[in-house]
């Protein structure tokens, strides 16, 4: 049904389409579909994801060692974090090594606003906590971003690493945050099954899993809108070449702050989800290693690819849980998996992939006729992301000091 | 030129590697325990896992150890898991009619990693009772779901008083809590040193903070004016040493675990601070003496645990099975497992039955007499003081 | 944008007759330069460079240079290597701030303006070595240029408000027209990195035009071109000027410069040594000396 | 309280700072040459620590009380243990580069992939030590009892501190001399500034990278000896992580890629950390370190002495 592009050479007949060509062909077909059609085709996949804990498939399940719905819930929270971090790293290209700070702020907000241990003595319902937590993390994202976003590349990474550590250490030392003792029975969303048992409990994480998958679908829709707009284009432009973006009229500083704020909000949201399910928050989990694990999920999945980072997040959260039965070796296996995966798929499993035009499909089809799709960028790592050898030396006239231009 | 140097380096490394591999076995290991002070002999009527050998139970009946195996402070969890396993093995050898299986779940030692494995154990219907969870933090996190499942659990080591304040009906503590050990230690220090000032230094764990508060209240504000804070995994304590030198106290009470207590006492002694060093049960461990590089000599250790020198049978069986002497809380874990196993032998084949059995249990274990109040606290909690003499921990006197 | 009738525009173009083609061309140029102020008063000053001095540490790259650019003309900025052409070009386009002196566009000083505001004020530029957004398609690159004029921000895009949709539609159509205008419409869907060198140069020009500039600055656009491509480029530059844009051209290739520019400013060692129409400047002894070396009368 | 302990804190800070500095040198060298944040360097340090510890065991020392052997014997044992620690750490660093980073460089992987591999490698090394040596710190073996040799303004300066500070400065000058004055050192600087051109000029890039990692590992091994002398309870699988991050902060503080910067950054971090600790209390030590880092970077991103070797990847 697809009309080949007028100028691509006909695929070589002899060896038959290689895997890469078949993948590109499939992607071209997929991209020719309109966005509602794409979502329509995805429904069966989403339904399967919803029922995963119920089916409890034999090999995949982590059952004897860890409860499968809890493992799935942890993976889904990880996926939500990865989507948020993907905005900062995958789209805007800002290397953030302290992202766990926002997750911690979200979790602590939920704890302080609802746990009986908190000195505020209030117990907000969970649905009220989520927007408050997102606003607080957005503000902290802007507070962190405003001074630091003048820095670029590795310097930004180092300052954000410092920020993440500071949040953890402050959680340790500020008495009201109760350091290691932490906060107990944090508010959970209400709602009961028809037979009266509460949906959202600590031991049965199925309800929570469905809630977080629903949130992921909503966040993906919003991210899709942002991607196909001036905002998404500005981010990719900043990632590809910040100076050229500025000199093409993109207010880079403002959009970098927006990227931080949105990433922080999603981080805060996943913090509240985590706090609600476990029902207990203390300072033990918010360290640099966790930040870098989030980074691993984004890089493993393929930076700049919303669906890819979900797959990456699932792997990073699932592998240690899956090898729970082998407690001695699970982190060793995890470390080896990271090294091996990076050697064979440095640009990530699914590679970069984004569509930046709301009416891109119609435009291409108006030019080339119906049924045209655009081969995804997934197959080619962006020029900017290449290793140091091929990096095009920046035009020395437009100096790229760490200070950079912008407001 | 470089090639030659690298070759030479390679040879040296090979030689060094040879030397090292020869002896990289499990070096060290404390000297065997030899009893010195007049410790009570192993109580002759102590219940043992073997029971009367007539135990009957359905195949597949199991009890579980839920606690850290590979995560933080894994050594503490390992000591409890080993003692539980030893009890189960001894029980199975003695009771052909009732083979109990031990399920081990690695909680990772932190609240959020404990939820998954604990839930898996709850979902495993064969498990009737749990020995665990070792730490107060993770116990707080999973307490509600264990209580909802009605699965009885006896913790051999979590001493935070708050755990029994949540109205859980299935939670039992196999040893005295901080609210018992704290005042007892304070009273003993007052009589022993008649101090104007004692420095109470605590780490940032549930255990440390809970115990420090109990001791500070018992000592009174002016005696315990000097307060110090350290962090878990902290290794350099010059600030705390400086604070102690400034206060020049008659004694120093450290509320925390031995991993931090050892370097602290060593740096205190190096800086010339000679005030007696007192630590709780978290510090009473072979490794404390070894890691303090000789500075632990003369330190006092309070512990709601009965001296282990008495029950040589358990110590030898543990040493023989695991090559290491039993550590803190091993004996308490052994007793807890024995109680669960004896319940199963007496026909408790369901969770409510075993829960009820433990609730009404009244018997003598290795470490103490086990009888619980409704909220899960032991009715009788002996507290002993031990002393580091050279490189061994010896019994000093009972103080409860 | 009506759903295409199955057959693409490009195929349709092949078998259009001249009337339909002319009408289509008009439609394209309407989109490319919609609201240009066409009443070109004779030589009214668009951009004024006034007493410009730039020092990098000890080095004085530009020394008290002044010239102006008149609306609707193509000004050539030439000089031997190291004369300060590119530094001057970078000051005008906001890459550097002047140490002394000022640059005014329609009377408004650009010296202290933020880079993206300078673009919004109406100055657009291309780069000596191409700096396109590699991971984007050609069409997306041009739409980024068009975004310079847009107001939509995160809330608008998140909820796809009417203004966002309108701006998106306009930008996509304008970008398609611009790709056709510079002659690379057939590569609209390809990644910028996969385009041949010549096309990438034209794409940069299209992206610059997308910001609806008053002044288009071209930084050695003919570098690396063959003779045929140079002629085509000159033709394009003239077409841009005829569409109402003012162009500043920094270029080494004298054949292109002389074939296209209305006026020349010559720089040497950071000082302006000549300013006038191409023929008189060519014969100016100072310029000849600057280029060919030999005694330079101070 | 703060003032009368000022000099004690300063000296203590200097001895700690020099340990940070030696580890920071490893980070700075690798970043200078490859623009790579080598997170696994803290585990190379841990390999050095275990190397020193096993040499003590091999020399017959048993964990527990501090033996009293004539000073000559102790110095010889310390030097041998230090040498083994340095060599093991050096070889491990080269192996790490060969196994984890080289395949990525061959495939021109994006720089984030290097970060993930680095964290993967640090997981692997940590877990190997945890599986074989358990998760508890090794028994304490201390050869040298610290006792004051002289006093500055009343603050005792122990023999331990003197040895560590002097030996670290000696190590630093050796490394600085190597990079700035030898032919190989020129190769390192050339590859740092412009790898492509350096290779054209006949510099064997792979060998320079190997030497950079080797040098970083040797220095980390030396730091390991001094660390184990100061904190005998330091031999544990995750002992290196926080120290590694702080040493990296010191490297950035001094100016990433700048050897003298790493030394200065390390000393400053050590001293300021001690001041902060005595001012605000023991548990504020790490907070002070990171506030200092973020503060300096905000106002002077290229660090105190500015970038050298290669430019930071911006």
- pLDDT bucket at B9, cuts 50 / 70 / 90: very low
Domain boundary among A351, A372, A387: A351
A388/A309 same-domain check: no
Most confident of A269-273, A396-400, C21-25, D60-64: A269-273
Distance CA D72, CA D56 (A): 16
CA atoms within 13 A on the CB side of A299: 31
At B22 the pLDDT is: 35
A190 and A142 within one domain: yes
pLDDT at A405: 31
CA-based angle A121:A124:A129, to the nearest 5?
125
Q: What is the pLDDT of residue D102?
A: 92
In this complex, the chains that touch D, judged by 3 or more CB pairs closer than 8 A, are A, B
Structural domain tally of chain C? 2
CA dihedral A39, A41, A45, A51 (to 10 degrees): 80
Residue A135 and residue A163 in one domain: yes
Q: Two tokens at C135?
A: 């991971």
pLDDT at A234 over 90: yes
- Both A331 and A358 in one domain: the answer is no
Of residues D91 and B238, the one with the higher pLDDT is: D91
**Is residue D11 in some structural domain?**
no
pLDDT at A14 over 60: no
Mean pLDDT over residues C73-85, rounded? 86
Distance from CA of A66 to the nearest CA of B (A): 5
For residue A302, is it within any domain? yes
Query: How many CA within 13 A on the CB side of residue A38?
Result: 14
Per-residue DSSP letter, A88 = I
- Chain D residues within 8 A of A89 when measuring between CB atoms: 112
Q: A1-10, B98-107, D79-88 — which is least confidently predicted?
A: A1-10
Structure-token pair, residue A259? 């990227």
Give the pLDDT band of residue A1 (cuts 50, 70, 90). very low
Reported as a pLDDT band with limits 50, 70 and 90, residue B32 is: very low
Question: In this model, does residue A266 exceed pLDDT 90?
Answer: yes
Say yes or no: A326 and A361 in one domain: no
Please give, rounded to a whole number of angstroms, the shortest distance from the CA of B159 to a CA of chain D.
21
Domains of chain B and CATH, by start: 62-176+308-383 (3.40.50.2300), 179-303 (3.40.50.2300)
Identify whether residues C162 and C128 lie together within a single domain.
yes
B75 touches chain A (CB under 8 A): no
ipTM comes to 0.79
Is C159 a residue whose pLDDT tops 80? Answer: yes
* Residue of chain A whose alpha carbon sits nearest to that of C168: A358
Same domain, residue pair A116 and A184: yes
Q: A125-135, pLDDT tens digit by residue?
A: 888 999 999 99
Tell me, what's the pLDDT at D1? 57
Please tell me whether residues C81 and C136 are part of one structural domain.
no
In a domain, A162, yes or no: yes
Same domain, A214 and A280: yes
Say whether pLDDT at C6 is over 60.
no
What pLDDT, on the 0 to 100 scale, is given for residue A373?
61
Chain A's closest residue to D301, CA to CA, is A155
CA-CA distance, B326 to A236, in Å (whole number)? 60
- Please tell me the predicted confidence (pLDDT) of residue B35: 36
The CB density around residue A95, as the number of other CB atoms within 10 Å, is 21
Domain of residue A95, residue span: 66-351
Asked which of C157, C189, C212 is the last residue of a domain, the reply is C212
Both A343 and A365 in one domain: the answer is no
Rounded to whole angstroms, how far apart are CA atoms B30 and B308? Answer: 15
Last residue of a domain, one of C190, C212, C234: C212
Query: Are residues A184 and A327 part of one domain?
Result: yes
For chain B, percent of residues with pLDDT exceeding 90: 10
Q: What is the nearest CA distance from A65 to chain D, expressed in angstroms? A: 20
Would D185 be classed as within a structural domain?
A: yes
Token pair, residue C206, equals 């299209």
Q: Stretch A191-196: mean pLDDT, rounded?
A: 79
What's the whole-number mean pLDDT along residues A370-375? 61
* Structural domain containing residue D213: 25-144+154-241
Phi, psi of B200 (to 5 degrees): -100, 115
Q: Searching chain A, which residue's CA lies closest to the CA of residue C134?
A: A383
Out of C158, C188, C212, a domain closes at C212
Give the closest residue to A360 by CA, choosing from C3, C168, C146. Answer: C168
Is A59 inside a domain boundary?
A: no
Task: Give dist(CA D42, CA B285) in Å, integer.
Answer: 29
CB-defined contacts A:B, below 8 A: 82
**Which residue bears the tokens 């090394």?**
D125
**A217 against A37, higher pLDDT:** A217
- The stretch A283-287 carries a mean pLDDT of 77
| D172 within domain boundaries | yes
Over its C-alpha atoms, chain A yields an Rg (Å, rounded) of: 22
Please indicate whether chains C and D are in contact, defined as at least 3 beta carbon pairs under 8 Å: no
Among the ranges given (B308-322, C252-266, D163-177), the one the predictor scored with the smallest mean pLDDT: B308-322
Distance from CA of C157 to the nearest CA of A (A): 6
What percent of chain C has pLDDT above 70? Answer: 92
Which of A274-278, A345-349, D226-230 has the lowest average pLDDT?
A: A345-349
| Chain D interface, best mutation among B236, B240, B271, B327, by max D CB count within 10 A | B236
Query: Quick one: C221 and C186 in the same domain?
Result: no
Are A275 and A189 within one domain? yes
Residue D314 pLDDT grade (very low, low, confident, very high; cuts 50, 70, 90): low
* Alpha carbon of D294: minimum distance to chain A alpha carbons (Å): 6
- Mean pLDDT confidence for B148-166: 86
Q: C90 is in which domain, residue-wise?
A: 40-120+213-298
* Eight-state DSSP code of residue A86: I
- pLDDT tens across B267-326, in order? 898 888 889 999 998 888 777 888 887 788 889 998 877 776 666 788 888 889 888 878
Task: Let me know if residue A21 belongs to a domain.
Answer: no
Indicate whether D14 belongs to any domain. no
CATH number, domain with residue A255 = 1.10.3470
Mean pLDDT of B49-61: 80
Smallest Cα–Cα separation from B227: which of B235, B209, B238, B236?
B209
Q: Any alpha helices (H) in chain B, and if so which ranges?
A: 2-23, 74-94, 111-122, 136-149, 178-193, 206-219, 238-247, 258-270, 286-291, 312-322, 330-345, 351-359
Closest residue on chain B to A284 (Cα): B110
- Please tell me whether residues A380 and A319 are part of one structural domain: no
Confidence of residue A402 (pLDDT cuts 50, 70, 90): very low
**Do C247 and C298 lie in a common domain?**
yes
Q: What is the pLDDT of residue D296?
A: 84
For residue B26, the model assigns a pLDDT of 33
Q: What pLDDT, on a 0 to 100 scale, did the predictor assign at position A191?
A: 79
The dihedral built from the CA positions of residue B6, B9, B14 and B20, taken in this order, carries a sign that is negative
CA gap C209, C31 in Å, rounded: 11
* Total of domains in chain A: 2
Compute CA distances B188 → B275, B306, B400, whole Å: 16, 17, 9
Looking at residue D54, its pLDDT comes to: 92
**Residue D25 in this model has a pLDDT that exceeds 60:** yes
- Residue A79 has a pLDDT of 93
**Is residue C162's pLDDT more than 50?**
yes
Kindly list the residues from chain A whose CB atom is less than 8 angstroms away from the CB atom of residue D195: 388-389
Q: In this structure, are A373 and A238 located in the same domain? A: no
Given a cut of 70, is residue A9 above it in pLDDT?
A: no
**Cis peptide bond prior to B133, omega within 30° of 0:** yes
- Among B348, B189, B314, B192, smallest CA distance to B255 is for B189
3-state secondary structure of B54: coil
pLDDT of residue B400: 63
In tens, the pLDDT along D257-305 reads: 888 999 999 999 999 988 888 888 777 888 888 888 888 888 777 778 7
Cβ of residue D95 closer than 8 Å to a chain A Cβ: no
User: Can you give B211-276 as a three-state secondary structure string?
Assistant: HHHHHHHHHCCCCCCCEEECCCCCCCCHHHHHHHHHHCCCEEEEECCHHHHHHHHHHHHHCCCCCC
User: Quick check: do A and C touch, 3+ CB pairs under 8 A?
Assistant: yes
Q: How many domains are there within chain D? A: 1
| Cross-chain Cβ contact C168/A382 below 8 Å | no
More confident call, A51 vs D226 = D226
Question: Residue D286 is encoded by which pair of tokens?
Answer: 């790490």
Closest to B103 measured CA to CA, from B135, B77, B129: B129
- A-contacting residues of C 89-108, CB under 8 Å? 89-90, 93-96
Nearest CA among C203, C187, C256 for reference residue C225: C256
Q: Over 80: is that where the pLDDT of B10 sits? A: no
Same domain, C203 and C75: no
Q: Measured between CB atoms, which of B70, B120, B149 is closest to A327?
A: B70
pLDDT of residue D297: 82
Q: What is the pLDDT of residues B321-380, one digit of tens each?
A: 888 878 778 888 998 999 988 888 888 888 899 899 988 888 888 878 888 888 888 888
Strand pairing class (B127-132; B277-279): unpaired
pLDDT tops 70 at residue B28: no
Q: At what angle do helices A288-301 and A68-85 cross, to 10 degrees?
A: 80
Name the 3-class secondary structure at B303.
strand
The residue written with tokens 């679908």 in the block is A217
| C191 and C269 together in one domain | no
C100 Cβ contact list (under 8 Å, min separation 6): C51, C52, C53, C64
Do C16 and C77 reside in the same domain of the chain?
A: no
Show which of residues 246-285 on chain D sit within 8 Å of chain A, judged by CB atoms.
Answer: 248-249, 252, 256, 283-284
Compute the average pLDDT of residues A271-282: 88
């Amino acid at each position: 049904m697809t009309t080949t592009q007028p100028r691509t050479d006909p695929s070589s007949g002899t060896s038959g389409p290689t895997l890469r060509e078949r993948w590109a062909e499939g992607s071209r077909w997929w991209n020719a579909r309109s966005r509602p059609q794409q979502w329509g085709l995805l429904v069966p996949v989403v339904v399967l994801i919803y029922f995963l804990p119920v089916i409890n498939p034999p090999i995949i399940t982590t059952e004897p060692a860890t409860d499968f719905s809890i493992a799935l819930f942890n993976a889904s929270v990880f996926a939500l974090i990865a989507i948020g971090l993907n905005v900062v790293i995958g789209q805007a290209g800002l290397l953030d090594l302290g992202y766990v700070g926002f997750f911690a702020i979200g979790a602590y907000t939920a704890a302080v606003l609802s746990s009986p241990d908190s000195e505020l003595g209030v117990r907000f319902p969970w649905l009220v906590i989520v927007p408050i937590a997102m606003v607080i993390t957005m503000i902290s994202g802007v507070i962190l971003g405003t001074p630091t976003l003048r820095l670029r590349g590795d310097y930004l990474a180092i300052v954000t690493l410092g920020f993440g550590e500071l949040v953890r250490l402050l959680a340790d030392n500020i008495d009201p945050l109760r350091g290691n003792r932490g906060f107990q029975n944090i508010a959970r969303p209400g709602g009961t099954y028809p037979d009266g048992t509460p949906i959202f409990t600590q031991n049965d994480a199925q309800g929570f899993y469905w809630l977080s998958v629903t949130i992921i679908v909503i966040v993906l829709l919003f991210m899709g809108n942002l991607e196909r707009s001036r905002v998404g284009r500005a981010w990719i432009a900043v990632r590809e070449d910040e100076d050229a973006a500025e000199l093409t009229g993109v207010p880079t500083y403002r959009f970098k702050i927006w990227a931080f704020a949105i990433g922080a909000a999603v981080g805060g949201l996943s913090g509240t989800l985590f706090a609600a399910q476990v029902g207990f928050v203390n300072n033990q989990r918010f360290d640099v290693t966790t930040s870098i694990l989030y980074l691993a999920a984004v890089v493993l999945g393929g930076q700049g690819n919303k669906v890819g980072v979900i797959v990456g997040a699932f792997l990073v959260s699932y592998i240690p849980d899956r090898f729970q039965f082998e407690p001695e070796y699970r982190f060793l296996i995890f470390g080896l998996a990271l090294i091996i995966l990076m050697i064979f798929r440095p640009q990530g499993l699914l590679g970069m992939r984004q569509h930046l035009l709301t009416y891109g499909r119609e435009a291409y089809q108006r030019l080339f006729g119906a049924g045209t799709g655009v081969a995804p960028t997934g197959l080619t790592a962006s020029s900017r992301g290449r290793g140091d050898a091929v990096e095009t030396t920046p035009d020395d006239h437009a100096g790229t000091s760490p200070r950079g231009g912008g407001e | 030129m470089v090639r030659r140097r690298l070759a030479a380096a390679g040879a040296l490394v090979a030689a060094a590697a040879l030397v090292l591999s020869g002896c990289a076995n499990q070096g060290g290991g404390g000297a065997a325990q030899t009893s010195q002070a007049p410790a009570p002999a192993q109580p002759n009527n102590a219940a043992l896992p073997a029971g009367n050998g007539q135990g009957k139970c359905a195949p597949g009946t199991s009890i579980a150890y839920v606690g850290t195996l590979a995560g933080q402070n894994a050594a503490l969890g390992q000591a409890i898991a080993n003692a539980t396993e030893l009890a189960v093995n001894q029980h199975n050898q003695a009771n052909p009619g009732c083979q109990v299986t031990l399920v081990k779940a690695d909680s990772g030692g932190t609240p959020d990693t404990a939820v998954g494995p604990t839930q898996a154990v709850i979902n495993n219907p064969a498990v009737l009772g749990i020995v665990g969870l070792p730490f107060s933090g993770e116990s707080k996190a999973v307490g509600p779901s264990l209580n909802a499942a009605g699965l009885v659990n006896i913790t051999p080591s979590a001493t935070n008083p708050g755990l029994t304040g949540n109205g859980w009906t299935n939670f039992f503590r196999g040893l005295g809590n901080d609210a018992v050990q704290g005042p007892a230690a304070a009273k003993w220090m007052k009589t022993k040193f008649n101090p104007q000032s004692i420095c109470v230094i605590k780490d940032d764990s549930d255990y440390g903070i809970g115990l420090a508060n109990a001791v500070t209240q018992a000592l009174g504000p002016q005696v315990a004016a000097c307060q110090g804070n350290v962090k878990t995994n902290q290794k350099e304590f010059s600030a705390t040493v400086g604070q102690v030198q400034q206060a020049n106290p008659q004694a120093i009470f450290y509320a925390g675990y031995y991993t931090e207590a050892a370097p602290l006492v060593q740096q205190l002694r190096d800086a010339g601070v000679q005030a007696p060093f007192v630590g709780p049960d978290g510090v009473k461990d072979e490794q404390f003496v070894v890691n303090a590089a000789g500075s632990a000599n003369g330190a006092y250790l309070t512990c709601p645990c009965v001296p282990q020198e008495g029950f040589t049978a358990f110590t030898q069986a543990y040493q023989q099975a695991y090559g290491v002497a039993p550590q803190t809380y091993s004996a308490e874990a052994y007793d807890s497992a024995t109680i669960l196993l004896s319940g199963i032998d007496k026909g408790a084949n369901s969770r409510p039955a075993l829960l009820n059995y433990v609730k009404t249990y009244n018997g003598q274990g290795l470490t103490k007499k086990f009888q619980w109040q409704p909220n899960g606290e032991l009715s009788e909690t002996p507290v002993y003081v031990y002393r580091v003499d050279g490189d061994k921990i010896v019994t000093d006197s009972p103080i409860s | 944008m009506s759903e295409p009738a199955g057959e693409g525009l490009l195929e349709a173009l092949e078998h259009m007759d001249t009337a339909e083609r002319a009408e289509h061309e008009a439609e394209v140029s309407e989109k490319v330069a919609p609201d240009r102020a066409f009443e070109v008063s004779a030589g009214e000053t668009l951009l004024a460079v006034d007493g410009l001095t730039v020092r990098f540490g000890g080095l004085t790259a530009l020394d008290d240079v002044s010239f102006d650019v008149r609306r609707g003309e193509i000004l050539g900025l030439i000089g031997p290597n190291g004369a300060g052409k590119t530094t001057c070009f970078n000051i005008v386009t906001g890459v550097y701030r002047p140490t002394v002196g000022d640059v005014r566009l329609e009377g408004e000083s650009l010296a202290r303006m933020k880079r993206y505001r300078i673009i919004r004020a109406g100055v657009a530029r291309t780069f000596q070595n191409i700096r396109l957004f590699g991971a984007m398609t050609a069409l997306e690159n041009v739409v980024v240029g068009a975004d310079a004029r847009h107001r939509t921000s995160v809330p608008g895009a998140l909820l796809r408000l009417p203004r966002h949709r309108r701006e998106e539609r306009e930008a996509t159509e304008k970008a398609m027209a611009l790709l056709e205008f510079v002659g690379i419409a057939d590569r609209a869907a390809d990644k910028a990195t996969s385009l041949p060198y010549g096309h990438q140069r034209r794409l940069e020009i299209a992206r610059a035009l997308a910001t609806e500039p008053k002044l288009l600055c071209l930084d050695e656009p003919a570098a690396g071109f063959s003779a045929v491509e140079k002629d085509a480029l000159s033709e394009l530059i003239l077409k841009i000027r005829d569409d109402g844009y003012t162009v500043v051209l920094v270029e080494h290739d004298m054949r292109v410069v002389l074939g296209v520019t209305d006026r020349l400013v010559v720089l040497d060692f950071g000082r302006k040594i000549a300013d006038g129409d191409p023929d008189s400047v060519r014969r100016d002894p100072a310029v000849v000396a600057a280029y060919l070396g030999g005694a330079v009368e101070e | 309280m703060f003032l009368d302990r000022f000099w004690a804190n300063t000296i203590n800070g200097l001895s700690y700072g020099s340990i940070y500095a030696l580890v920071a040198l490893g980070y700075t060298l690798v970043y200078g040459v490859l623009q790579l944040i080598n997170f696994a360097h803290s585990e190379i340090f841990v390999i050095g620590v275990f190397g020193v510890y096993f040499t003590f065991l091999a020399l017959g020392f048993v964990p527990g009380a501090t033996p009293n052997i004539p000073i000559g014997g102790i110095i010889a044992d310390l030097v041998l243990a230090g040498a083994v620690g340095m060599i093991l750490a050096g070889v491990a660093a080269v192996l790490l580069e060969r196994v984890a980073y080289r395949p990525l460089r061959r495939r021109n992987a994006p720089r984030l992939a290097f970060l993930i591999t680095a964290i993967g490698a640090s997981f692997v090394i940590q877990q190997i030590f945890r599986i074989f040596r358990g998760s508890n710190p090794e028994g304490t073996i201390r050869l040298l009892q610290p006792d004051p040799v002289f006093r500055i303004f009343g603050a005792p300066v122990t023999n331990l501190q003197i040895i560590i500070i002097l030996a670290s400065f000696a190590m630093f000058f050796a490394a600085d001399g190597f990079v700035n004055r030898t032919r190989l050192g020129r190769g390192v600087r050339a590859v740092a500034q412009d790898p492509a051109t350096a290779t054209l000029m006949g510099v064997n890039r792979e060998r320079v990278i190997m030497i950079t990692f080797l040098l970083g590992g040797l220095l980390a091994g030396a730091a390991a000896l001094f660390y184990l002398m100061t904190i005998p309870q330091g031999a544990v699988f995750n002992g290196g992580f926080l120290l590694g991050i702080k040493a990296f902060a010191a490297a950035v503080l001094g100016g990433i890629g700048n050897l003298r910067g790493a030394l200065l950054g390390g000393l400053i971090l050590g001293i300021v950390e001690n001041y902060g600790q005595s001012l605000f209390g023991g548990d504020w030590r790490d907070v002070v370190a990171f506030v200092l880092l973020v503060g300096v970077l905000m106002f002077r991103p290229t660090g105190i002495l500015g970038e050298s070797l290669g430019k930071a990847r911006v």
